[in-house]
Structure 1
Amino acid sequence: MSVYEHYRKEEHSFVDQVMEWKGIVIEEYRWKLTDFLDPRQQEIVRSIIGQNEDVKYAFWGGHEHAERQRCLLYPPYLDPSEDDFEVTVFDLEYPSKFVQIEHRQILGALMNVGLKREKFGDILTDGERFQVVLSSEVSDFITWNLTSVGKAKVSLKGIPTSDVISVEQDYSYLGVTVSSLRLDTVISEVYKLSRSKAKPLIEGGYVKVNWKVVDDPSFSLEVKDVISVRGKGRSVLMANDGQTKKGKIRLTFGIPK
Structure 2
Amino acid sequence: MDEQLFKKRLEELAQTAFMNSVYTHTPFLSEREQSLFHEMRKELSFADASLYGGHEDYDRCIVVFGSKEMFGYEGEIPLACAKVSPLFEKYAEPLSHRDYLGALMNLGIERSQIGDILVSGKEAYIFCFEHMAGFLCHELTKVRNTQVNTAVVDFKEIHYQQEYITKDGFVSSPRLDALVGLAYGLSRSKALSLFQSQKVFIRGKLETRNSYQAKPEDVISVRGFGKFRFSEQGRETKKGRYHVKLQIYK
TM-score grouping bracket, smaller chain normalisation: 0.5 to 0.7
Cα shift at 1:170 = 5.3
Match of 2:90 among 70, 83, 97: 97
Q: Is the 8 A contact 2:85 2:148 kept in 1?
A: yes
Q: 1:147 aligns with which of 137, 141, 150?
A: 141
Moved more, 32-41 or 111-120: 32-41
1:162 aligns with 2:153: no
| 1:23 Cα deviation from its structure 2 partner | 1.7
Single out whichever of 140-149 and 110-119 deviates more from structure 2. 140-149
Over 3 Å counting, the alpha-carbon distance change for 1:166 and 1:45 in structure 2 is farther
| 2:132 aligned partner | 138
Query: Among 109, 120, 140, which residue is 1:115 paired with?
Result: 109
RMSD over aligned Cα atoms: 3.9
Give 1:58 deviation, angstroms. Answer: 1.9
Structure-to-structure mapping, 1:16-31, within 5 angstroms: 16-31=8-23
Give the Cα separation in 2 of the matches to 1:222 and 1:143.
Answer: 33
Relative to structure 1, the CA distance from residue 170 to residue 23 in structure 2 (aligned partners, 3 Å threshold; closer, same or farther) is farther
Q: Using the alignment, how far apart are the partners of 2:185 and 2:112 within structure 1?
A: 32
1:123-134 alignment, distance < 5 Å: 123-134=117-128
TM-score between both structures, scaled by the size of structure 2: 0.65
Distance in 2 between the 1:159 and 1:64 partners?
17
2:183/2:228 contact within 8 Å kept: no
Return the offset for 1:116. Answer: 0.7
Shift of 1:50: 2.9
The separation in 1 between residues aligned to 2:146 and 2:165, in whole angstroms, is: 32
Instruction: Show CA shifts across 1:35-78 (max 9, x none).
Output: 11233433432442338663112222222333222221015234
Deviation at 1:196, TM superposition (A): 10
Select 2:36's aligned residue among 15, 36, 44: 44
Structure 1 regions of 5+ residues with no counterpart?
A: 1-8, 179-186, 203-215, 239-252
| Paired AA for residue 71 in structure 2 | Y
* Aligned-residue identity in percent: 21
Output the amino acid matched with 2:131.
E
Measure, in 1, the Cα distance between the counterparts of 2:132 and 2:99.
19
| TM-score, length basis structure 1 | 0.64
Aligned equivalents of 1:23, 1:171: Cα separation in 2: 44
What amino acid is the match of 1:122? D
Among 5, 21, 26, which residue is 1:13 paired with? 5
Relative to structure 1, is the Cα distance of residues 134 and 48 closer, same or farther in structure 2, using a 3 angstrom cutoff? same
Opposite residue 65 of structure 2, the aligned amino acid is L
What CA distance in whole angstroms lies between the structure 1 residues aligned with 2:57 and 2:202?
18
* 1:178-226 C-alpha deviation (Å, 9 max, x unpaired): 6xxxxxxxx889755579999xxx9xxxxxxxxxxxxx99644665554
Which residue number in structure 1 is paired with residue 212 of structure 2? none
Assess, with a 3 A threshold, how the Cα gap between structure 1 residues 217 and 167 changes in structure 2: closer, same or farther.
closer
Q: Hey, what's the Cα distance between the residues in 1 that align with 2:63 and 2:6? A: 14
Query: In structure 1, what residue type is equivalent to 2:222?
Result: I
**Between Structure 1 and Structure 2, how many residues are aligned?**
210
* Alignment partner of 1:61 is 2:53: yes
**In structure 1, C-alpha distance between the alignment counterparts of 2:50 and 2:34, rounded to whole Å:** 10
What are the superposed Cα offsets for residues 211-257 of structure 1, whole Å, 9 maximum, x if unpaired? xxxxx99644665554343xxx314799xxxxxxxxxxxxxx98435
Q: Secondary structure at the match of 1:36?
A: coil
The 5 A counterparts of 1:64-75 are: 64-74=56-66
Is structure 2 residue 249 aligned with structure 1 residue 256?
yes
Q: Distance in 1 between matches of 2:156 and 2:16?
A: 32
Q: Which runs of 5+ in 2 are unaligned?
A: 169-173, 207-220, 231-245
